[in-house]
Structure 1
Amino acid sequence: MSKGWCWQRVEATFPENQMKSIFRAFDTNGDGKLSRKELKVCFKSFGLRFAGFRAWRAIRHVDANGDGMIGEDEIDELIKYVSKWGIIVTP
């Protein structure tokens, strides 16, 4: 058995509208955007390891306008990005 970093995959399936609702629910300050901190809490709720690192990577990957947040117009790209971790989103 090797020791070191182990990326955990979560096996879960969500309809797209439910996934969007989940992300919106973690917008705790109600500004319509997800900060890194809010995204970290969201990823922890999915049971993902290294939630802070994953939140940072997600923002770097998804944040098209460079404001450091994930806005409503970037949610679809976020859903595609998290699907790499075993979170399946269905139409």
Structure 2
Amino acid sequence: MTLWIPRSNGLTPAEEQLKCYLKRYDADRDGKLRWRELKTAFHSLGLHLSCVRAARALRHVDVDGDGYVGQEEMDELVKYATTKWGLST
């Protein structure tokens, strides 16, 4: 019998839930979050100054400098949002 063990990405269950929530704001379903999509997501979570926070988050996690939060950068975005602003769903 094979035991299935999920691959750990270092996120807690609450962080995984936040990640799924944020992915819902990928309006064009290209797997990337743009600044405007981040702003909308943060606003829906009740964050004040969502424009500024989206810009800061994007600047912090956009490692490749393409102006988007890609799949590879999503975990870092979730960790940033939970530690910096105490976000959880």
Same fold (TM over 0.5): yes
Note the residue ranges of structure 2 that are not aligned, 5 or more in a row. 1-12
- Identity of matched residues, %: 47
| Superposition CA RMSD, Å | 1.5
Measured against aligned partners, the alpha-carbon deviations of 1:26-56 in whole angstroms (never above 9, x if no partner) come to 0011110000000000000110000011000
- Greater gyration radius: 2
Instruction: Report how many aligned residue pairs link the two structures.
Output: 76
Deviation at 1:17, TM superposition (A): 2.4
Secondary structure at the residue paired with 1:34?
A: coil
Q: What are structure 1's unaligned runs of at least 5 residues?
A: 1-13
User: Which is bigger in relative contact order (C-alpha 8 A, separation at least 6)?
Assistant: 1
Corresponding residue of 2:41: 42
Residue number in structure 2 paired with 1:3: none
Partner of 2:21: 22
- TM-score scaled to structure 2, two decimals? 0.79
Runs of 4+ residues deviating >3 angstroms: none
